[in-house]
Amino acid sequence: MELRHLRYFIAVAEELHFGKAAERLHIAQPPLSQQIQQLEAELGVKLFHRKTKRQIQLTEAGKVFLQEAYQLLVQLETAVALTQRIGRGQTGQLRIGFTSLAIYNLLPSILRQFRKQFPEVELVLLELTTSQQEQALKDSLIHVGFAHPPLEDDTISYKCIYRESLVVALSSTHSLAQQEYISVLSLLHEPLIVFPRYLAPGLYDRIMSIFEQRNFKPNITQEAIQMQTIIGLVSAGMGVAITPSTLENLQRSGVAYRPILEEVPVIETAVIWQENSLTPIVENFLQFSQKFI
């Protein structure tokens, strides 16, 4: 049995007239009769009463088979449509890793607009450090990540989508806040609030390198495991922090951000993925993300 038999049967069952059904199917009447006979022979059951050659009528079995045939063709259409949507990356699940820093720069607007363009794609977000994301990619726990180069594993592909400099965050009542630019030297004896190294070794090391390059030793007084907490402590006058400039988006009152006078390392945010497990959704997402650069 082939789908052709179902399609032909439906046409005849609806028209109850071989000639008209054949016309509708754009074939001649005799082959249609033959195909229906074939179908009946294969089923071992008559689908039409043919008491006379003038008019035909569905048998009980035919009525039931008609309903089943409808369902089958509908299910086929549905299956095809679903497969196509998946094949085009328009539906399915996308698991995204992100660092606590990435959530402050491009990620929110990328997600917002991606959801608008691909509303059927379910986005699952997991906050992970850069190296956790690398592992998660290899374990296929996430499809893409938003992390910060350099990567440990060179089999992972990445594309930098955002670069930002480090700035000084300090209480707006702090005397240094008067200056347009702040020099590293002037921070030397300020109490420094930092993110713990294990949560963002890349960021931590870059901040420290500012001091190390100059053989300074910073005065670390506090650690906080959330960006918001660091800014809160700054606002409370507990010290100053060196943060990526996107943290300015927090718009916390009582906190001023000032660029650093000297040349300091740049913090990069990159989309990372595994080239050998590119699904259409991931491809769509990567293409989409790169329009944001």
Footprint of DNA on 25-54 (CB under 7 A): 26-31, 33-38, 50-54
Residues 6 or more apart in contact with residue 242 via CB below 8 angstroms: 166, 167, 168, 169, 187, 192, 194, 207, 210, 260
Footprint of DNA on 125-164 (CB under 7 A): none
Partner touching 54 among DNA, a copy of itself, none, CB below 5 to 8 Å by kind: DNA
Assess 141 for contact with a copy of itself (CB under 8 A): no
- Interface stretch with a copy of itself, choices 81-89, 118-126, 172-180, 244-252 (CB under 8 A): 81-89
Residues 6 or more apart in contact with residue 194 via CB below 8 angstroms: 204, 207, 220, 222, 223, 230, 241, 242
Cβ atoms of residues 285 and 114 within 8 Å: yes
> 164: which strand partners?
267
Choose between 14 and 42: whose C-beta lies nearer to a copy of itself: 42
Binding mask 237-276 for a copy of itself (x = CB under 8 A): ---------------------------------------x
Cβ atoms of residues 175 and 252 within 8 Å: no
Q: Could you tell me the smallest distance in angstroms from the CB atom of residue 8 to DNA?
A: 7
Tokens 């294969």 correspond to: 42
Choose between 3 and 79: whose C-beta lies nearer to DNA: 3
Q: Which DSSP string do the residues of 80-126 spell out, in sequence order?
A: HHHHHHHHTTSSEEEEEEE-TTGGGTTHHHHHHHHHHH-TTEEEEEE
Applying CB under 8 A, which of residues 16, 28, 41, 82 lies at the interface with a copy of itself? 82
Cβ atoms of residues 128 and 209 within 8 Å: no
Taking the C-alpha atoms of residue 175 and residue 275, their distance in angstroms, rounded to an integer, is: 50
Partner touching 108 among DNA, a copy of itself, none, CB below 5 to 8 Å by kind: none
Positions touching DNA (CB under 7 A) are: 4, 16-19, 26-31, 33-38, 50-56
Positions touching a copy of itself (CB under 8 A) are: 1-4, 43-47, 51, 59-61, 64-65, 68-69, 71-72, 75-76, 78-80, 82-84, 86-88, 92, 276, 279-281
